[in-house]
Amino acid sequence: MTHLEAQSYIMPFIEQKVPKNKQEDFVLHMRTCEKCHEELEIYYTLLVGMKQLDNNEILSSDFGKDLDSDLKALLSGVRHRKGFKMSAFSIIISAFILVYILLYAGFLSGIYDYEQNTKASEQSEYFFYDTFHEREVPEELDRIKISEQIVNDSTYTTYDRISGYNKMKSDYDSVISLGEELANVETTTD
């Protein structure tokens, strides 16, 4: 803020009518410019003193101190408004981020559920159909009874054991005879 511009806001300051967008610049200029501050103090003392006399108020004993407290109050109001704007802006941004995170998490959860359901339906339909199709137990049946029946159906009879032994013995004999034939083969080196 220039000196001329600052001096033009002296009267509005005394009347507490400085535009909000100029208040901070005015206070900072008055605190840093000794010449403008001195002029403000002169006008402040004259006009506030006359106003106090006209209203039959007690005349202030230290107008410089009153002026400084009014400048501090004006700057405090500006900073309070800025802080409020920043905190409101921060709350709004935080709310948007939170909503975005929740929507994104819901979206990921939906995709995960869809993939798991698809995988489960495809696996049960394709991967396990050949292996477990005959052994599937419907929901309305007694699972314990069915599992005992499956175990009993898979036991070997005496006939199965004897035929298995005979097959194993013939396989053993054929392997031994093949081994003996290989042992009798002469090897030649070229």
Q: Is the dihedral of CA 60, 62, 67, 68 positive or negative?
A: negative
Element (H or E) spanning 76, and its range? Answer: helix 63-122
Per-residue pLDDT tens for 136-165? 555 566 667 767 776 777 666 777 778 878
Q: pLDDT tens, 99-126?
A: 999 999 999 999 998 888 887 776 655 5
What mean pLDDT do residues 131-139 have?
55
Mean pLDDT of 36-44: 82
Which among 16, 5, 20, 27 has a CA at the least distance from the CA of 51? 16
Provide the pLDDT confidence category of residue 190 given band limits of 50, 70 and 90.
Answer: low
pTM of the predicted structure, to 2 decimals: 0.39
Q: Residues 49, 62: contact at Cβ < 8 Å?
A: no
* 36 neighbors 6 (Cβ within 8 angstroms): yes
13 versus 189: which is more confidently predicted? Answer: 13
Of 102, 100, 104, nearest in space to 92 by CA: 100
One-letter amino acid for residue 165 of the chain: Y
